[in-house]
Amino acid sequence: MIHELPNKKKAIVEDKKMREYLLCLEHPVGGGKAKFFIANGFHKDYLGQFRSVLLEHGSTNPVIKVETTKFTTKYIIEGPVKFVREKVLSVSYTEGPVPRQIQEMGLEIAEINIVTVWGIEHNTNIPKLVTAYKM
């Protein structure tokens, strides 16, 4: 059995996959996934961190299942991944005729348990993210 994603250093996570599927609340299939990822601090306007987390997950967790179709071999990976996200430390309001909210932000280390699915087409050796979702 394969224990790690083949050619993991060449893995690809496409912007379109993140923006129009995994982080799109309106997507008929990806909407539920988007709720989870957005609630954990990921956003369409900041894809770099989300890409890094997905790539880290695929590189550090074991493959638990392999499925082969006519055109693609899929590698299913389960496990935790840690990342840094913003956290609201405190909220206060200013005095005056129009109260304004002031937030003090900080950073925290978060951990989520997810599944990533990577596909490698039979005519290539480059893994591409197919989907990701909470465990």
Helix (H) or strand (E) holding 59: helix 47-60
Supply the pLDDT for residue 36: 95
Supply the pLDDT for residue 97: 63
Nearest Cα residue to 33 out of 120, 135, 132: 132
Supply the pLDDT for residue 102: 63
Residue whose token pair is 């379109």: 16
**Structure tokens belonging to residue 116:** 């990533």
Domain ranges of the chain: 8-134
Supply the pLDDT for residue 54: 98
Torsion sign, CA atoms 55, 4, 34, 91: negative
> CB of 111 within 8 A of CB of 81?
yes
For the whole model, what pTM was predicted? 0.86
Q: For residues 72 and 82, what is the distance between their CA atoms, to the nearest angstrom?
A: 29
Supply the pLDDT for residue 86: 79
Mean pLDDT in order along the chain per 10 residues (135 residues):
89 97 93 94 92 97 95 97 80 61 76 98 95 97
Instruction: List beta partners, residue 55.
Output: none
**Structure tokens belonging to residue 48:** 């770099």
